[in-house]
Chains A and B, each alone.
Chain A
Amino acid sequence: MDETLTKKSAFRKPKKAKKQPITWSLIKDQKQLIFMSVPLLAYIILFAYVPIWGWTMAFQDYKPALDFGDQKWVGFKHFKFLFQDDNFLRVLRNTLGMSIINLILGFVTAIILALLLNEIKKIFWKRTVQTISYLPHFLSWIIVTGIVATSLASDGIINDLLMKLHLIKEPILWLSEGKYFWGVVGASHVWKEVGWNTIIYLAAMASIDPALYEAADIDGASRYSKMRHVTLPGIKPTIVILLIMQVGHILEAGFEIQYLLGNGLVVDWAETIDIFVLKYGIAQGNYSMATAGGIFKTVVSVTMLLIANWTAKRLGEERLL
């Protein structure tokens, strides 16, 4: 404590120098803010930085019963196993494929729905539609996949509907054809998340200056041109920021839905990195391999995030970092 106190008096002098940004009096002035940030900092240190230590597992043949010093170090063995496996390219393709489909479908549908909702003048209808559309967000995937599997069964509602409309003659077995799988996953995601995703766009639209719409009215703009020239540019910064954040999650195609809906017939299209890591890592008690998979995903995520951020900066758009 003594040491801190002496340091403090040493810092007091240069208080007025402009290039000394953090001074004790500044700290004192903002002590409430600092105080409030302590729990958050502790949270981040505990749950984001301390676990990074666990990455060492990826370079060992980790055995839970042994102490750190007794573990056997094996270098890049687990990364080699991961990258050299015949299935790895396939699961990477599936992950990226489904992730990109989810990304694009998610953005397009959410923005369109938000634009449409924004045009509804009756508050009651707007609220009703919004509530109904975002309710599925609160269901867990196990329930959603149950609903999806039942709807897509040979006597399910989708096949019934298509048969009644005479679009098909025989029920389609949606879940036993690899070519439909990505589409099923994309559509399920849209159904579950579209309403929820609109919330942030609606908030952004609410903050657009009404004067802009009035000015557009005076210029004789139609509804569609107001959407295109006022609303969309108004929410562009929000879109860009969300896009940057989403690109960082490019290897997160989801896990539950593929795991729960996948089966032997569609395995070539359904297996994602997460499932692969579960099967050959955790389920085998091979925690090292699972960690290697996690590191790979993190590295790709951070890289993609930085690239997206840099591109946004180049294009003169809003940035995250």
Chain B
Amino acid sequence: MGGKSKSIFRLSMIMLLSLSVILSGCGGNNNAANSGSGNNGKQAESGNNTGDKVEPLEITAFIGEAGQQPTPDNKIYKKIKDELGVTIKMEFLAGDINQKLGVMIAGSDYPDIMTANTKLTAAGAFIPLEDLIEEHAPNLKKHYEKYWNMMKDPNDGHIYILPNYGAYNGEVSTTWYSGPAFWVQKAVLEDAGYPQVKTLDEYFDLIAKYKEKYPTIDGSPTIGFEILNYDWRNWGLFNAPQHLIGQPNDGGVVVKDGKAEIFADKDSAKQYYQKLNEVNAQGLVDKETFTQNYDQYLAKISSGTVLGMFDQHWNFQTAEDALTTQQKLERTYVGLPLVYDKNTKDHYLDRPALNLNNGFGISVNGKDKAVQILKMWDRMIQEDWQKVLSWGIEGEDYIVNEESRFMKTQEQRDDFTDATWKLANKADAFYKFSPKMQGYFEDGNATDAAAQPEEYKAGLKEYDKKFLEAYGYNSYVDFFSPAPENPIYYPAWSVDLVEGSEAKIVNTKQNDLSTKYLPKAILAKPTEFEAVWSDYAKEIGKLNIKAYEDRINEVLQWRIDTWTVK
């Protein structure tokens, strides 16, 4: 080789090198991640002394909602690590869930366990669990025994997800209602002398009278009624009609005798929106209700000026907590199960159904650890661990009184509402999505502090005690009629419409039309309501609603066939 050729050789080597440096930027992450987890695995090993049920293990988890990392020295996670040998590394959702899932799916970049999402199931990201559970996790199997068939995916009959809520042992009682209702400020009922409110008309009469009497609250104008319809939080506008005719929450359909039908364009819905149109003309509906975003909605509620709204309790929970913190207890809310006429029995309160498409599944990448992960959950579903995860550590987080009932001191109660304290002392993020015992422990204590009746009473504020006394109720749940037995197929809202299918597209289009026309109908002059409504009904008529209803009915029928215990 001559000098020239040598330099060209060198040049091409340099070019090759620089290219490889750039390319390695793409592939390098995996190695780094692997070696990182390798080290941590060793740490977990060294920290493992007593974990006899589960081998030392580090699992990565994706939590499909925003959240905060627990503190590094978190009490419960440390206990899990010390006694079960399991280190859990969690990644919380930041930003848009669809975008995040798209990226994860495109790169098959899955952590070991992930919270359920139909997109992930459709992409084949989860592994079937039924055989593994049968073989390795007897306690888990016992926990889900009654629900086994329900957990199977309607599309291929495998179990991919372990539902986080809804697997009960024994009777269900609760003191806390988190579902949909017409909410009204306690002050409104108090001012009217604690009346029984049953119908929509009575409800708006009360609000109108209160607003007239008190045009401002703490200096700001009183807002009669709020309707939130922002992004996916659309039930404030869409869902009320089914409840008003005495049906439970089935999402976009009303199910009668196992047959689902949409109600958005039916007369039962029209009656509700016409009423809203009427009260809007009276000036009861917030002018900005359809342009506000979720934050503005919460801000209005926390200011204490909103008299009522239709919503699910958990959706405005943070705003109500803010009112409690400000000591404005009379501005917090009571849920009312309204119906159109007094002869209809309300069906807001329902018996908890298995929370399908929620909870953890094990990903294809976590296949090798699947048995160990299931063994961990198998251990955790036993009573001693359930007590730790739900109530905390005895003596530190709760006390056991002479009658061996679990109670809390006021200080412990305050701790449990303190987000910062919880990050260091509770494993909430993981527990929330894990399989859990609900109902009662063998010793008769409730699995959840909120469901322990004497604990609930002891924790009530003076104002609420007086309020409930005036009605003669034990808790705010008593405003609702007791929940009847669920039909086997209930609830229809958990039907997976299948990504990209005609049914899903029709559903999206129908929601688009409702988002567009219902606000128009409500804000129209009362004389123009009919015209807007008939436009709306006509547009809906153009859609292939049958495809949507057929899909729901198909799954309901499938549930009736496979879920019925023979």
On A, residues with C-beta under 8 Å from B are 1, 4-5, 8, 24, 28, 31, 34-35, 38-39, 42-43, 46, 61, 63-65, 149, 153-154, 173, 175-176, 260, 263-265, 267-268, 279-280, 282-287, 289
A176 with B22: CB separation less than 8 A? no
B519 with A35: CB separation less than 8 A? no
Q: Does B169 contact A (CB under 8 A)?
A: no
B8 with A8: CB separation less than 8 A? yes
Q: Which chain A residues border B4 with CB–CB below 8 Å?
A: 8, 28
Q: Which chain B residues border A5 with CB–CB below 8 Å?
A: 1, 5, 8-9
- A-B pairs with beta carbons under 8 Å apart, 27 shown: A5-B1, A8-B4, A28-B7, A28-B8, A34-B15, A35-B11, A35-B18, A61-B500, A63-B123, A64-B105, A64-B124, A65-B123, A65-B125, A149-B291, A149-B293, A149-B296, A176-B290, A263-B290, A264-B518, A265-B520, A267-B516, A282-B99, A284-B499, A284-B500, A284-B504, A284-B508, A286-B500
8 Å CB interface, B128-184 against A: none
Q: Does B505 contact A (CB under 8 A)?
A: yes
A285 with B500: CB separation less than 8 A? yes
Given contacts A65-B124, A149-B296, A264-B519, contact A282 B102 (CB under 8 A): yes
8 Å CB interface, B90-144 against A: 98-99, 102, 105-106, 108, 119, 122-125
Residue in B closest to A171 when the chains form the complex, CB atoms: B287
A265's partner among B106, B291, B293 (CB-CB below 8 A) is: B291
Q: Give Cα distance in the complex from A286 to B23, angstroms.
A: 30
Whole-angstrom distance from the CB of A89 to the nearest CB of chain B? Answer: 15
B22 with A42: CB separation less than 8 A? yes
Q: Does B341 contact A (CB under 8 A)?
A: no
Whole-angstrom distance from the CB of B500 to the nearest CB of chain A? Answer: 4
Residue in B closest to A12 when the chains form the complex, CB atoms: B4
Q: Which chain B residues border A46 with CB–CB below 8 Å?
A: 22-23, 26
A38 with B19: CB separation less than 8 A? yes
Given contacts A64-B106, A265-B520, contact A24 B8 (CB under 8 A): yes
B123 with A1: CB separation less than 8 A? no
B12's partner among A4, A63, A154, A265 (CB-CB below 8 A) is: A4
Q: Give Cα distance in the complex from A43 to B19, angstroms.
A: 9
Whole-angstrom distance from the CB of B21 to the nearest CB of chain A? Answer: 9
Given contacts A35-B15, A176-B290, A285-B500, contact A43 B22 (CB under 8 A): yes
Q: Give Cα distance in the complex from A163 to B500, angstroms.
A: 49
Q: Does B528 contact A (CB under 8 A)?
A: no
Q: Give Cα distance in the complex from A250 to B22, angstroms.
A: 33
Q: Does B358 contact A (CB under 8 A)?
A: no
Q: Give Cα distance in the complex from A289 to B502, angstroms.
A: 13
Given contacts A1-B9, A65-B123, A153-B288, contact A264 B515 (CB under 8 A): yes
Q: Which chain A residues border B434 with CB–CB below 8 Å?
A: none
* Contacts between the two chains (Cβ within 8 Å), count: 106
On B, residues with C-beta under 8 Å from A are 1, 4-5, 7-9, 11-12, 14-15, 18-19, 22-23, 26, 98-99, 102, 105-106, 108, 119, 122-125, 229-230, 287-288, 290-291, 293, 296, 499-500, 504-505, 508, 512, 515-516, 518-520, 523
Residue in A closest to B295 when the chains form the complex, CB atoms: A146
A42 with B291: CB separation less than 8 A? no
B22 with A39: CB separation less than 8 A? yes
Q: Which chain A residues border B523 with CB–CB below 8 Å?
A: 176, 265
Whole-angstrom distance from the CB of A281 to the nearest CB of chain B? Answer: 9
Q: Which chain B residues border A289 with CB–CB below 8 Å?
A: 500
B499 with A42: CB separation less than 8 A? no
B119's partner among A31, A260, A265, A285 (CB-CB below 8 A) is: A285
B98 with A38: CB separation less than 8 A? no
Q: Give Cα distance in the complex from A257 to B102, angstroms.
A: 22
Whole-angstrom distance from the CB of A313 to the nearest CB of chain B? Answer: 36
Chain A interface mostly: helix
Whole-angstrom distance from the CB of A249 to the nearest CB of chain B? Answer: 22
B291 with A267: CB separation less than 8 A? no
Q: Give Cα distance in the complex from A42 to B287, angstroms.
A: 55
A282 with B7: CB separation less than 8 A? no
Q: Give Cα distance in the complex from A61 to B119, angstroms.
A: 15
B291 with A176: CB separation less than 8 A? yes
Whole-angstrom distance from the CB of A152 to the nearest CB of chain B? Answer: 9
Which of A153, A264, A265 lies at the interface centre, i.e. has the most chain B CB atoms within 10 A of its CB?
A: A264
Q: Which chain A residues border B102 with CB–CB below 8 Å?
A: 282, 287
Residue in B closest to A278 when the chains form the complex, CB atoms: B98
Q: Which chain B residues border A4 with CB–CB below 8 Å?
A: 8, 12
Whole-angstrom distance from the CB of B15 to the nearest CB of chain A? Answer: 5
Given contacts A5-B5, A265-B519, contact A279 B18 (CB under 8 A): no
Query: Top 4 closest A-B pairs, CB basis?
Result: A285-B499, A65-B124, A264-B515, A286-B500
Q: Which chain B residues border A263 with CB–CB below 8 Å?
A: 229-230, 290-291, 515, 519
Q: A8-B8, A173-B287 are in contact. List 16 more A-B contacts (CB 8 A).
A: A5-B9, A24-B8, A35-B18, A42-B18, A64-B123, A154-B287, A176-B288, A264-B229, A265-B291, A265-B523, A268-B516, A285-B119, A285-B122, A285-B499, A286-B499, A287-B102
Residue in B closest to A152 when the chains form the complex, CB atoms: B291
Q: Which chain B residues border A34 with CB–CB below 8 Å?
A: 11, 15
Q: Give Cα distance in the complex from A286 to B123, angstroms.
A: 12
Whole-angstrom distance from the CB of A234 to the nearest CB of chain B? Answer: 41
Whole-angstrom distance from the CB of B24 to the nearest CB of chain A? Answer: 11
Residue in B closest to A267 when the chains form the complex, CB atoms: B516
Whole-angstrom distance from the CB of B197 to the nearest CB of chain A? Answer: 29
Given contacts A65-B123, A267-B515, contact A175 B8 (CB under 8 A): no
A154 with B515: CB separation less than 8 A? no
Residue in A closest to B499 when the chains form the complex, CB atoms: A285
Q: Give Cα distance in the complex from A285 to B22, angstroms.
A: 32
B290's partner among A43, A264, A286 (CB-CB below 8 A) is: A264
Whole-angstrom distance from the CB of A20 to the nearest CB of chain B? Answer: 17
A283 with B98: CB separation less than 8 A? yes
Q: Which chain A residues border B14 with CB–CB below 8 Å?
A: 35
Q: Give Cα distance in the complex from A283 to B119, angstroms.
A: 9
Q: Give Cα distance in the complex from A170 to B31, angstroms.
A: 64
Whole-angstrom distance from the CB of A41 to the nearest CB of chain B? Answer: 9
Whole-angstrom distance from the CB of B233 to the nearest CB of chain A? Answer: 12
A173 with B8: CB separation less than 8 A? no
Which of B12, B22, B230 lies at the interface centre, i.e. has the most chain A CB atoms within 10 A of its CB?
A: B22
Q: Which chain B residues border A39 with CB–CB below 8 Å?
A: 18, 22
Q: Which chain B residues border A175 with CB–CB below 8 Å?
A: 291
Q: Give Cα distance in the complex from A63 to B106, angstroms.
A: 10
Residue in A closest to B21 when the chains form the complex, CB atoms: A39
B98 with A282: CB separation less than 8 A? yes
Which of A28, A39, A46, A283 lies at the interface centre, i.e. has the most chain B CB atoms within 10 A of its CB?
A: A283
Given contacts A65-B124, A265-B520, A285-B119, contact A8 B11 (CB under 8 A): no
Q: Give Cα distance in the complex from A265 to B521, angstroms.
A: 10
Whole-angstrom distance from the CB of A139 to the nearest CB of chain B? Answer: 17
A38 with B288: CB separation less than 8 A? no
